[in-house]
Amino acid sequence: MDTLTPEQRHKCMSRIRSKNTSIEILLCKALWREGVRYRKNYFKLPGKPDIAVTKYKIAIFCDGELWHGKNWVNRKDEIKTNNDYWVKKIERNIERDNKVEKELERMGWVIFRYWGNDIKNNLSGCVNEIKEAIYNIKNGIFYPEEEMKYLYAVEIEPEYSHNDIKHHPN
């Protein structure tokens, strides 16, 4: 049962943003301080990555745990209000994220997906992973395909993995 009135819930939900979220701003500022230049919400790519380092073909997504289905198998039963609607919506988000990733991979982009809590709790680790990818791309260093799948230490979901890094084909 929802503890808020429909009007209060509407007000809360209407203030949730799709761009310039706190986690996105946090990561953007940290990357900028490290000299990484990027485009925000790059509309020329599928899925409009939150951050796109176009020079090195790196797409970065900053995903909220609820909206993008972190630990979805276990968490979907926690939704108490309008469960049918929200479960379908979040599962569509997950499907769309997977489709966008495949399309970007086909286009030769390196993809990073970070959960909001990963950015908040390990900002320097996220920045270092991105900088390492830039270094590797600059220097033509690629990873064997089997090592690529879990290149960095961000929690991987058993059924749905947002966190795979793909090598740059050039």
**Domain parsing of the chain, residue ranges:** 19-148
Give the whole-angstrom CA distance, residue 3 versus residue 31.
39
Higher per-residue confidence, 102 vs 14: 102
Pairing of strands 39-40, 51-53: antiparallel
CB 77 within 8 A of CB 154: no
Q: Which of 39-43, 65-69, 132-136 has the lowest mean pLDDT?
A: 65-69
pLDDT at 157: 44
Report residue 156's pLDDT band, with 50, 70 and 90 as the boundaries: very low
pLDDT of residue 32: 97
Cβ count near 81 (within 10 Å): 12
Number of Cβ within a 10 Å radius of residue 108: 12
Residues 6+ apart with CB under 8 A from 53: 36, 37, 38, 60, 130, 134
Q: Specify the amino acid at residue 97.
A: D
Write out the DSSP string of 81-121: SSHHHHHHHHHHHHHHHHHHHHHHHHTT-EEEEEEHHHHHH
Least confident of 8-12, 45-49, 112-116: 8-12
**Which ranges in the chain belong to alpha helices (H)?**
6-14, 22-33, 72-75, 83-106, 116-121, 123-138, 145-148
Chain centre distance of CA 162: 7
pLDDT of residue 78: 81
Joined tokens for residue 134: 């830039």
> According to the model, what pLDDT value does residue 162 have?
46
Q: Is the pLDDT of residue 87 over 60?
A: yes
Half-sphere exposure of 61 (CA within 13 A, CB side): 28
pLDDT for 164 equals: 44
Which of the four pLDDT bands, split at 50, 70 and 90, describes residue 8? Answer: confident
pLDDT of residue 121: 95
- Higher pLDDT residue, 138 or 8? 138
Superfamily for 19-148? VSR Endonuclease (3.40.960.10)
Average pLDDT over the chain, rounded to an integer: 79
Q: Band the pLDDT of 13: cuts 50, 70, 90.
A: low
